[in-house]
Amino acid sequence: MNIDKQPITSYRWETFSHMADIGIRGFGNSPEEALIAVSLALISVITDPQKVSPTSSVSITCQDDSYDLLLYDWLNSLIFKMATENMLFSAFEVELRLPFLRGMAWGETIDREKHKPAVEVKGATFTELFFGQNGNQWIAQCVVDV
């Protein structure tokens, strides 16, 4: 995989307020692009993704019956990998063919001085969960528990 093919700045994502938690949303021209964008939104809740060097990788495989549930599984798998492998990510590749999602995440070990993590994300929730199209644009979103 060529992780340099599309820079972080070419993806569009945002966060939004939701009571005590934080909403994340990614946009794309394809479901895969929206997944990568929402993954960057997830990381942006913790730190600036541009501070994370993509030096190590982990693979993630999910299987579920709907785009929404694959999004939920993907985000929780990323959160699990960050917690158990003490990593942050900044580059992603996903291949999505219902009911399967296979992906890679590149990042590095958390360095508290370098990354200055703002919060700990505990998990993706079903709140505001949506992964679908609005016109020609794909949107992937949910609220994460912090």
The CATH class, in words, for 21-145 is alpha beta
Q: CA-CA distance, 97 to 31, in Å (whole number)?
A: 10
| Gyration radius from the chain CA atoms | 14
- List per-block mean pLDDT (blocks of 10 residues) for the chain, which spans 146 residues: 67 92 97 97 97 96 96 98 97 96 97 96 97 97 96
State pTM to two decimals. Answer: 0.94
CA–CA distances in Å: residue 139 to residues 26, 83, 88, 112, 119: 6, 26, 23, 31, 24
SS3 52: coil
